[in-house]
């Protein structure tokens, strides 16, 4: 098979994107570990529960929202349970399913942790861009997501924050 090699401009863009994808998770993870004793994935699980009705989701739904396998999610939720941040219980509608619920301690952890996390996201991503570049970033991400998520399985996750009719403030 003949490869369609990247041009110099394409390679320069690709290597930069790859480097951002490699560096950004470590930056976010370092801040969360230092300030909240959480990994970025643990924070993400807590955040998804904090946004759910009654701060509760079926484990299968939580796995879908975090793009995690059930075994990985179960392991992480177990660690969060030990810390009193999450509790699991049988789903009342389907006793075969298990729900995960953010506890009061978990809710307080999110409230305490979110400001530092948002400040880190601002410092390393949002404030580095002009408003025009931020719009371009969203358009670029949408173009990539069309290829990476062609069936839109993850769309509810990233589209729920789309602005409809004006500015929003999000935690």
The answer to whether residue 169 scores a pLDDT higher than 80 is no
CATH architecture of 21-148: Orthogonal Bundle (1.10)
**Cα distances (angstroms) measured from residue 145 to each of 40, 62, 112:** 21, 20, 31
The per-residue pLDDT for range 7-48, each reduced to its tens digit, is 999 999 999 999 999 999 999 999 999 999 999 999 999 999
Q: Do residues 38 and 114 make contact, with C-beta atoms less than 8 angstroms apart?
A: no
Q: Do residues 58 and 91 make contact, with C-beta atoms less than 8 angstroms apart?
A: yes
pLDDT of residue 135: 94
User: What's the pTM value of the predicted model, to 2 decimals?
Assistant: 0.86
Residue with tokens 């025009």: 132
Q: Where are the domains of the chain?
A: 21-148
């Amino acid at each position: 098979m003949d490869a369609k090699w990247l041009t110099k401009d394409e390679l320069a863009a690709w290597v930069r994107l790859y480097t951002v994808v490699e560096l950004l998770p470590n930056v976010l993870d370092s801040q969360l570990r230092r300030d909240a004793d959480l990994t970025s994935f643990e924070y993400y699980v807590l955040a998804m529960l904090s946004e759910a009705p009654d701060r509760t989701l079926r484990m299968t739904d939580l796995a879908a929202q975090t793009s995690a396998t059930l075994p990985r999610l179960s392991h992480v939720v177990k660690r969060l349970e030990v810390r009193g941040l999450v509790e699991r219980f049988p789903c009342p509608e389907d006793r075969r399913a298990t729900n995960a619920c953010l506890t009061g301690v978990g809710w307080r952890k999110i409230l305490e942790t979110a400001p530092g996390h948002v400040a880190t996201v601002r410092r390393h991503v949002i404030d580095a861009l002009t408003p025009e570049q931020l719009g371009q970033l969203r358009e670029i991400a949408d173009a990539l997501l069309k290829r990476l998520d062609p069936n839109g399985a993850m769309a509810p996750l990233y589209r729920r924050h789309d602005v409809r009719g004006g500015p929003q403030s999000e935690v």
